[in-house]
Chain A
């Protein structure tokens, strides 16, 4: 069974289970968990470029994964690509420089790597009612709508006001770290 089918099954069975439950909040949690699980399964760690979860369709990636996302009849929703502003990731870019197909589920030898887990956080608000800051870096994901809107967005991070377009007018990026640390401050054992 390939990775894509496994994922579909996993999501499907989760949905089936949650459908039996009566409390809406419970359902919401389950769906959020499953969408998060799908996202995590495609990445080596939170922040890694996802592997391509579908077969090679013989067209250019940007045909469907454009700036807004495309509903492809018979196939599903192709989310927008999140990094159209990144330097070097322009319209002449090579998506498959970072995103690869999985042609097998096998491993060469086992690997015990466990990457940092995704952990959605809320941004800080200066006052009650102030717009939250962005809780993550914008590097490689400047196009907010790619992840925060549309049918492919994780349910727990969907924006309620996608129509406002210019997200950065109200939400600022603070998750910037210094590029370099002074020497000998690392937590080396």
Chain B
């Protein structure tokens, strides 16, 4: 050992004897606390929710010199307790792609030229005004996002409904969780889950319905895995159409034929009744029974042709669907008769699930000694009977009374960071107003007109176009001016061939796109607006578990980029709607939010005050007297409950303050494999990429991990077709073709006869192949089931 090292070592060992007391540790912590949040490296740290998924992880953002230089998981956030996923850890990079949009750009022939904000905003205002005057309120549209902040969504909704008198505002969340909204509304008359993330520690059995949580909600899956590590009796059941990283940690993998989850859920209900596992006291006190329109001929699938599945208008008749259902009252006795069709043997035949597994699932749901948490996301929501499937999962909990109590809940997961906070709570769907209210209800419009201080009759009672219809109307030129913010429909809309794909010189439509990077959607725009992203602006998101989270602006946006809400407000002001946005330019976030908050107070949707959001890692609504609610409808937790014990579904006035159990049958999917197209195609996401990859693909580490789209092929199918790992495979449906490299036994392993393709790759658009069939009630399209053929390219 060198002399210098020896001396050092001696010094260390001598000091080692002086063990550190608790008092010293406290003092050290105090000193750091007093030194503020600038750390030794010169970084200032502040909280923000993650920009990406609906989990809503708390992030500490490290800023120096006006630039985000680091992030870390926020240990004070109850959501993630310090952990992030690979997307979250690489958040800073998404702000600094070299091709950030910096200036408003106007189409000029085949190019774009830079214009000023004044020119851009004046132009939008005049286009909207011209369209309104010449073609009316159906000719203007705004296509928004579950990634809009609460401010963005509130500004858009108010501008459209209270300003232009149009309800043509709808978000990409229509493609994402509209079925969950209709599910909760039809059963509880109030949207969003009763449970919260503490269910992950409180529950015993976690039943995942078509939900690859390990990749899509990785931090939440970690919470379940941690529970399982501490409590080996915890069980995870993965009900899915392909094996995924989620399956690797599951105690039981239940593989079902795409679309047959409807039959499987009814099969479990059948056994619960047959086994005497109905919680009769709970049902008598808290549940009513309903039944809706089950006629497949009347419902269709939202496309053309006699059965509603054709994509060719010549096949007529026109698409059949509409808002609402024809509900009638039902009963437990009728349910018992209804379920006779769903014997284990028949369900097994429809679904391919072994009878033993159906029985096993029924025992789990029926076991009153164990907490049961059902989890689902896109597999259930992006389903041509997605609302029904949402209903059926909640039915399992209603029949067994396993609801609104810690560790027993149907917990619907959302995909986008503010799908709940903005789309569902602010109400940016074409038929919604804030706080569970609808534009087609007179009393609801009156409440909104009062808070917005506009004359009675201002708000249009007719719902606007939902997303699928909005783009069909644009293709027909019924919509003349469309403004798109924070989303990328020319990658994500199913059956992309039905979208307009080029802009003729005499096109009378005007498309405005606000984004942060060039995308296939900005390529369709007449006017491109540069937006500020994430911590380049102040904002509020609301996550899956009803947690509203606020963040400050921390860095300046690049170039002349501005926040989306500001863009909307400026256009509104130019159209004569100054009165809708009366707040000072330098302080409008808080007063706008507080105005929105008025809608929520006293309605069981009470969001926290702005100041409280600043000071906390988010609050779970309803927030009453400054206290959050972990379990809605539960006595002892929810201040609105007027019972001393049990549950009280107080929002469902029409149901006598009970929850509705809906009888929902099995319907076949819109398109099933046949001789010509013999395989199922299912699409989805991947851990490393957020949606269409416009942000995550610009982060080197994420792009380098998953640089391109691929097709997962079963090894036996690959052998039959001479496909090797990496072979280029031509995937074709009735609507189009795409070439993709094959992945065999990779992270996802589909069964024979199924292929999976992620949708993030704008150069390999899988949505050219998908079918635009949709749920009859939510109008959410089904990205998980259509028929394809594969061959070596």
Contacts and interface: CB of A to CB of B under 8 A. Distances in A.
Nearest to B6: A160
Contact of B11 (A45, A91, A112, A129): A129
B75 A179 contact: yes
A170 B697 contact: no
A188 B554 CA distance: 5
Contacts of B699: 44, 111, 113
A49 B75 CA distance: 16
Given A44-B92, A160-B9, A131 B15 contact: yes
A177 interface: yes
B617 to A, nearest CB: 7
A139 interface: yes
Given A94-B214, A98-B86, A139-B75, A187 B20 contact: no
Given A92-B249, A116-B69, A131-B12, A111 B553 contact: no
Contacts of A183: 552, 611, 614
Contact of B222 (A51, A89, A173): A89
Nearest to A167: B16
Given A44-B89, A87-B82, A189-B556, A114 B687 contact: no
Given A87-B226, A109-B98, A102 B704 contact: yes
A174 B28 CA distance: 6
B5 interface: yes
B63 interface: yes
B553 A97 contact: no
A104 B19 contact: no
A27 interface: no
A110 interface: yes
A90 interface: yes
Interface string A67-104: 00000000000000000001111111110111111111
Interface in B678-730: 687-688, 693, 697-707
Contacts of B614: 180, 182-183
A42 to B, nearest CB: 9
B703 A108 contact: yes
Interface in B73-92: 73-76, 80-86, 89-90, 92
Interface string B527-538: 000000000000
B70 A116 contact: yes
Nearest to B221: A94
B44 to A, nearest CB: 6
Interface residues of B, number: 94
B703 A113 contact: no
Nearest to A118: B41
B228 interface: yes
Interface residues of A, number: 74
Interface in A45-67: 45-49, 51
B214 A97 contact: yes
Nearest to B550: A183
Contacts of B8: 160
Contact of A115 (B66, B70, B615): B70
Nearest to B75: A139
Given A113-B92, A172-B20, A183-B552, A47 B70 contact: yes
Interface stretch (B30-38, B381-389, B432-440, B483-491): B30-38
A105 to B, nearest CB: 7
A1 interface: no
A133 B32 CA distance: 12
B577 to A, nearest CB: 28
Contacts of A160: 5, 8-9, 12
Given A44-B92, A133-B28, A188-B554, A170 B18 contact: yes
B420 to A, nearest CB: 22
Contacts of A96: 86, 245, 687
Interface in B260-298: none
A21 interface: no
A114 B64 CA distance: 11
B25 interface: yes
B99 A109 contact: yes
A107 interface: yes
Contacts of B701: 44, 48, 51, 100, 102
Contacts of B32: 174-177
A104 B25 CA distance: 46
B29 interface: yes
Interface in B23-78: 24-25, 28-29, 31-33, 36-37, 39-41, 43-47, 60, 62-64, 66-67, 69-70, 72-76
A178 interface: yes
Contacts of A16: none
B673 interface: no
Contact of A104 (B60, B229, B707): B707
Contacts of A137: 72
Contacts of B86: 49, 96-100
Interface in B722-766: none
A6 interface: no
Nearest to B31: A174
A183 to B, nearest CB: 5
Interface string B86-121: 100110110111110000000000000000000000
Given A44-B701, A109-B698, A169-B19, A180 B76 contact: yes
B98 A110 contact: yes
Interface in B640-672: none
Contact of B69 (A110, A115, A139): A115
Nearest to B554: A186
B13 interface: yes
B587 to A, nearest CB: 10
A119 interface: yes
Contacts of A164: 16
Contact of B15 (A91, A114, A130): A130
A92 B40 contact: no
A23 B556 CA distance: 48
Contacts of A174: 28-29, 31-32
Given A100-B701, A180-B76, A116 B64 contact: yes
25 contacts: A45-B69, A46-B41, A47-B72, A49-B86, A88-B83, A90-B225, A96-B687, A97-B219, A98-B89, A100-B704, A102-B701, A104-B704, A106-B707, A108-B693, A108-B697, A113-B95, A128-B11, A160-B8, A160-B9, A160-B12, A161-B12, A180-B46, A181-B36, A187-B44, A188-B556
**Nearest 10 CB-CB pairings of A with B:** A179-B76, A100-B705, A88-B222, A110-B98, A113-B96, A116-B69, A90-B229, A174-B28, A102-B704, A92-B225
Given A51-B701, A94-B249, A100-B701, 6 more contacts: A90-B229, A111-B96, A113-B93, A160-B8, A172-B20, A179-B76
